[in-house]
Structure 1
Amino acid sequence: MKNFYMPADIREADNIAAAKYGVPSVVLMENAAKNAARAAVELAGDPKDRFVILAGRGNNGGDGFAAARHLLIGGAAVTVLKSDADEVYKNDAAVNLAILRRFDGERLRIFDTPELTDSEISSLIGGARCVIEGLLGTGTSGAPRKEPARLIRLLEGCKNVLALDIPSGIDPESGGVYEPCIRAAETVTFLAPKYGMAFCPAADCCGRIITADIGVPPEAILPRRPKMSLYESGDLHRMLPEISRNIHKTERGNLLVYAGSGSYRGAPLLTVRGALRAGAGLVFAAVPDFIAPHISAELPEAIVLPLATRNGEVEGASASAVISEWLPKCAALVAGPGCGRSEGVEELFLWLWKNCRLPLLLDADMLWFYGRNLSELAPRADVLLTPHSAEAGRILGLTPAEVDSKRAECAFALTAKTGQALLKGRNTLVASSEELRMIAAGSPSLAVPGSGDVLSGIIGAFIAAGIPIADAATAGALAHGLAGEALEARLGVRGALAGEIADEIPAVLK
């Protein structure tokens, strides 16, 4: 798990390191630069190769000057391209520039870029195995201007760029990108990643993110609660309960699934399959009566509860009566995949909201009814919403594009009545009233019909197993994403089926 913090938190952490622990800022810069130099050597592949460092006037430039010295110690040839004259640099940056000046020799060249032509700068950059970019830091705002903008444009197309702290031209708070902007192969960020670096399009500009220490334990100087946490494959298993060798099927967590309609007869199959593959105990499939024989034939492991229909639509009153009979046997309920938008389904939705005391996952068409009745619903803390951008937009009164442009804010907004929500998409978000999580797993192979149904089943199984709702959503999204990555590795990004996503889950959980 990686924790992301706001830039202001990082700046305050530097102040705490100096004021509380007595570590001068120039020492923090030294430690950061040493780690940056190490990352640059790894990117280049040879400590004695040629490096170019672009140094702006702020602390990022100072990091670059100190990194240049460490590269010289390792035997590298270093060219430093300064965006400003020496007298412009202040404080720690000026200290490190003055030190570096004393090493001027055969392996070190220092230039002021305003005195060079574009072709001269491009020639110097082209001769380097690795370019270290330290033009603008987190204290700047808006699009790069003047000399930094010129240098960034001259770096376009350069492959081995290592950005210091953040790539110049991104917004480290929002994840937005200005023009021009550095597109780095790697970013070595100091102390902790900045919040905006997790979100596209900034994330694409960062490349691989390496977190470098600054010589002070992060937990001593950073806020106790990060702005966001990124959950990775290694975090999955610590969220799953232990399985006793003596376990009985009814002790795994029973799940009730309400899904399906005349147009979406396969949705219940995929949801139930996802739940069973994720380790659920008994799974009860409450489906329209005309789907029931199909479910029994295709997935005999499920317990099928036929719901009476009239003219092909579920009757809300009779459906609620059937479901209420079986709820005491279950630990969670998933409602919505492929259920349609008939009056009977809306009646059932309202009944579930008022009367179902089990943790409730709402997906697909049930999210439509949630948005339609939002103002009249009493708050519940045991409901998980699982929308994609279009579904979230309908609930929040936004377009899908607007949701995608501010995913974190929308994920939090979705929790107003339920306390938690999962916003699907690239880097799925799980939000609760005070916490935001991002899922670092996934693949284009997951963008297929029925994939979301499988995800609902997986999460439902985890909730039924007794995992807290936010953890169940996180673990389910991780497992789903890792299954997609496994399918991509085996089949590529085209042609995977939703059922294959479900069938990949046991191997992922193993």
Structure 2
Amino acid sequence: MQKYYFPADIRRADVIAAEECGVPSVVLMENAAKSAAREAGLLADGARGPFVVLAGVGNNGGDGFAAARHLLIGGADVVVLKCADDGRYKNDAAVNLSILRRLKSEKLRICDTPEMTDAEISALLDEAACVIDGLLGTGTTGAPRKEAARLLALLDGYENIVALDIPSGIDPASGAVYEPCAKAAVTVTFLAPKFGMAFEPAKSVCGKVVTADIGVPPFALLPEEPALTLLTGGDMRGFMPELPRDVHKTQRGNVLIIAGSAEYRGAPLLVARGALRAGAGLVFLAVPEFIAPYSSEKLPEAIVVPLAVKGGEILSRDAENVLSEIAPKCASVVAGPGCGRSDGADELFVWLWHRCALPMLLDADMLWFFARHRAELPPRGDVLLTPHSAEAGRILGMSAAEVDSQRAECARKLTYKTGNALLKGRDTLVASGCSLKMIGAGSPVLAVPGSGDTLSGIIGAFIASGMSVGDAAAAGALAHATAGEALEAKRGVRGTLATEIADEIPSILR
């Protein structure tokens, strides 16, 4: 589990450390620099040539000066390229520059880049064992300008860059990447990773991220709820409740699934299989009556509930009566996969929203109805939307590309009526209340027909087990993603079926 914070939270923590704990800011800079120098040495891995430090005029440059000192003391040749004269450096950065100048080592060169040509700077970069980017920190906004922009443009193409805190040229709050920017092999981020570093394209620009402890007490990092929590496979244990040895099937949590149509007869089976493999007790599979026999034959473990139809469409009144009798036996509802967009399905959506009190997952066609009726729906806090980018765009009045460019903001917007949303795609996001989680697992294996149906069933089972809707969404997405990784390790990325994803879930939960 990795926690990401907004840059303002990190700056506030530095202030608390200084004002309430008496930790001087120059000490925090010293600790940061030690970690950065260590990582630079590891990246250089004995390569010949000097360590070249690019130092901007802010505290990021001060980190660079201090890192240069530690490398110098360790016996390395160091070239410091600072983008302004000494008088521009203030406070802790000025202190560390002054110390560096007093060392007077033959292994140290300090140069002002405004007095150098591009060719002179590039010649130094070419021979560097490692380049340390200390140009722009988290306090800068917008695209790099002036001398910093010139130096960053000259860095293009180098693969031996260590960035201090963030790579220069990225927005640590949004994940936007400006031109020019430093594409780092390693980013040594101080105290905690910044929110924007979790998202593409900034994520790729950061390279390997190493978090450096700089001496800030844990209680100084406020708020307690981070801006984003990244979940990986090992975090599954934190979600799963203990199962008593004498558990009865009805104590596992029963799931009601409403799915299927003439065109999509397999979707209900995939949802039910996912729910059963994730540990659900009884699974009530409510499907149009003409596919009920097929469903019973293919998945005898499910209790198939036929819904009356006319002209191929569900008769909503009859369905409501049937579901009213079954719902009290269940602890969650999954509705939408393959159900179609008939008038009967539309009326059933409205009934579910207003009359069904169970926590509910809406997927596929039910998301279409949600978008259609969203304006007049009263808010609920126990509903989970599970759209991909195009479905989310339909709900929010945006294009899929616009959703992908601001995924965190869109995930939060999706919760306004429901309390919970799972935005599918690369780096799946789960928003619930003030919490935002990213799934840090996954595989191309999962990009197959029916994979989302299986995911809905897994989450439905977790909700029925007693988890909160938000935790069930995160745990379900994590189990699904980890199953994809396991299947890729066994078979490669081609040829996996959605049923096989479901069948891998027990091993993941074990």
How does the TM-score come out when normalised to structure 2?
0.96
> Shift of residue 62 of structure 1?
0.6
1:309 correspondence with 2:312? no
Query: Which deviates further from its counterpart, 35-44 or 64-73?
Result: 35-44
Within 5 A, what are the aligned runs for 1:464-475?
464-475=464-475
| Structure 1 unpaired stretches of 5+ | none
| Structure 2 unpaired stretches of 5+ | none
> Shift of residue 47 of structure 1?
9.5
Aligned AA for 1:158? Y
Contact 2:55–2:135 (CA under 8 A) maintained in structure 1: yes
Aligned equivalents of 2:77 and 2:281: distance in 1? Answer: 63
Deviations 1:191-217 (A, max 9, x none): 111111122211121122221111122
1:44 correspondence with 2:39? no
Within 5 A, what are the aligned runs for 1:284-323?
284-323=284-323
The aligned counterpart of 1:328 is 328
The aligned counterpart of 1:214 is 214
Query: Which deviates further from its counterpart, 449-458 or 38-47?
Result: 38-47
> Shift of residue 376 of structure 1?
2.2
> Shift of residue 455 of structure 1?
0.9
Deviations 1:6-48 (A, max 9, x none): 2122222211111111111111100111111122223333499
Q: 1:411 to 1:124 in 2, by over 3 A?
A: same
Query: Which deviates further from its counterpart, 32-41 or 108-117?
Result: 108-117
Aligned equivalents of 1:491 and 1:115: distance in 2? Answer: 58
Give the 3-state SS of the residue equivalent to 1:109 in structure 2: strand
Aligned equivalents of 1:7 and 1:474: distance in 2? Answer: 25
The aligned counterpart of 1:122 is 122
Aligned equivalents of 2:14 and 2:304: distance in 1? Answer: 60
The aligned counterpart of 2:60 is 60
Give the 3-state SS of the residue equivalent to 2:209 in structure 1: strand
Give the 3-state SS of the residue equivalent to 2:478 in structure 1: helix
> Shift of residue 298 of structure 1?
2.1
Deviations 1:80-117 (A, max 9, x none): 22222222211111111111122342332222222333
Give the 3-state SS of the residue equivalent to 1:373 in structure 2: helix
Percent identity, aligned pairs only? Answer: 69
1:145 correspondence with 2:181? no
Within 5 A, what are the aligned runs for 1:59-98?
59-98=59-98
> Shift of residue 493 of structure 1?
3.3
Aligned AA for 1:222? L
Contact 1:50–1:130 (CA under 8 A) maintained in structure 2: yes
Q: 1:226 to 1:299 in 2, by over 3 A?
A: same
> Shift of residue 296 of structure 1?
2.1
Contact 1:361–1:456 (CA under 8 A) maintained in structure 2: yes
How does the TM-score come out when normalised to structure 1?
0.96
Aligned equivalents of 1:102 and 1:494: distance in 2? Answer: 61
1:460 correspondence with 2:460? yes
The aligned counterpart of 1:260 is 260
Within 5 A, what are the aligned runs for 1:348-387?
348-387=348-387
> Shift of residue 369 of structure 1?
0.8
Deviations 1:158-202 (A, max 9, x none): 112111111111111111111111111221111111111122211
Deviations 1:360-381 (A, max 9, x none): 1111100111111112222211
The aligned counterpart of 1:112 is 112
Contact 2:275–2:458 (CA under 8 A) maintained in structure 1: yes
Within 5 A, what are the aligned runs for 1:354-433?
354-433=354-433
Give the 3-state SS of the residue equivalent to 2:246 in structure 1: coil
Aligned equivalents of 2:390 and 2:55: distance in 1? Answer: 43
Give the 3-state SS of the residue equivalent to 1:52 in structure 2: strand
Aligned equivalents of 1:225 and 1:238: distance in 2? Answer: 16
Aligned equivalents of 2:264 and 2:176: distance in 1? Answer: 38
Give the 3-state SS of the residue equivalent to 1:437 in structure 2: strand
The aligned counterpart of 1:199 is 199
Contact 1:175–1:196 (CA under 8 A) maintained in structure 2: yes
> Shift of residue 344 of structure 1?
0.8
Deviations 1:204-244 (A, max 9, x none): 21122221111122323432232222222222211111112
Query: Which deviates further from its counterpart, 226-235 or 44-53?
Result: 44-53
Aligned equivalents of 1:25 and 1:261: distance in 2? Answer: 64
Give the 3-state SS of the residue equivalent to 1:291 in structure 2: helix
Aligned equivalents of 2:50 and 2:297: distance in 1? Answer: 67
Aligned AA for 1:296? S
Within 5 A, what are the aligned runs for 1:160-175?
160-175=160-175
Q: 1:26 to 1:264 in 2, by over 3 A?
A: same
The aligned counterpart of 1:2 is 2
Q: 1:221 to 1:237 in 2, by over 3 A?
A: closer
Query: In angstroms, what is the RMSD of aligned CA positions?
Result: 1.7
